[in-house]
Chains A and B, each alone.
Chain A
């Protein structure tokens, strides 16, 4: 089945529900754990592979529903690093399925551009077979300019691995002196994660009735609405999606308040840290100077000017810190981009195909 299935006419009831739902807040970013493909296969006495295939078809369908509702970013958990532990038959089948599906996606590039879908891969794809890596990289590169909707596919991903990768980036930069150890903050680590270019996850859906996160977006989903749906993934319907959005709307206000408080708190911590770092620098400076000049009682005037200059110094320090971290982040992003580029197959331009002279 194609990534962009033939549009099915929707019933007046669905249209009505959609119109009513979209009056309220609609999540911008939905993350989905597509669980229950194998159990579905067992239930319907199909082969395991059939279950996975049905799961993919459901994904294509769900993406269409999301686009219609105005959900502009969808993240799906396609393959976890832990899934490599499954039987080698199943793993190789899943790899083959992904190969076929991404090859299909590359064939459908006109449709990708028509729908304006940008595909991103989240995870350590160097763990995958080389040919699959190349396919993924090509899918990312041809769609990178699209803006209307974003599909993040988590492939060879676990959240803990993602956090560790970010820590490694930071550790290298600290070692090389690109950033200071004190520059490491929640915000900076977040910007080193694979999901750094995504908007915050608003709604996380897990099907099949399991109520775990299973190492999926642990950091990012702290302030997301969680929806655990009972049905198996291939049985997921548009009504379950509507119900999940209703659930999101019921929780919307409280989560929004918590998020705002969180941002305020982060800013406060950052200011504190800037102040302390600046004071440390200052004390180092004065320690070298103090050995010469003796202390004199400061006049009230000098206190106010000193206070003012303190504020300026903190701001100065913050500006320098921002400059440092920005340079560091652009390095990290550039390196990741280059890695993806290095995977692209070296191939002559498509139009330069050999002409069909031979057949004549």
Chain B
């Protein structure tokens, strides 16, 4: 297990370096930050000097090397846009995004798995059809539209929920949380629902089809023949075997929830990393963009690692293999 973790961490460094390199090659197509860093009265010569000082005229590999060199020394640079250190900026936005993502993922799992089991066990009941129809909406409506419709309905027309932001947050030192105040939780509801809806649909459909598949297998028939109760068959035998693909998908999706909460955060002005990166792209804030990308790459690697470890927990066959001499 330890070997696996170390191997994965080493891989993560490679992944992050590759992502950063590709990013620097692409930055040249994003535009020029200088026009937005200075006012209209700034002379052309000064603009050119800034471009030179920032190294924007250098070839991408050199910019990349300089970035890596600085990062290794713990210096992520200063945001072009906001004038504050990038690592601090990202760390201050991280809690908002992680809270939103985890609540959204939790919501998706808690709702989707029971719905998936139900529709899988009783595919012909009317409630199953309702679930499936509703879930079609979740998969076919674009996120920004769902977000705006929610804002319109619950925020503007009914006035029940806040339309933007994170509400009151509590500062715990290294972490800020909105989960401890009423306005923070109320602010979280609509963004979390919006972000989780697609995952909910996906997981529900996955559990359903796995469940249908498993219920047809021989060992379920044997289990029934042994006279086990429905409950024991469904949850003890069937569900456990549907979970491996669910864990894989959930893990991968958690990564994309964190990385691509961009749209939800933009619609709800949620002060997380997604909003930060959107603004950074519009501004061509290269230090923020590059740091964000390697942080996200790191998340993906870590999540994949956790998924791998969970496989071992859920699937005893894998345990037996690694317990022996590996592959």
Do A and B actually bind?
no
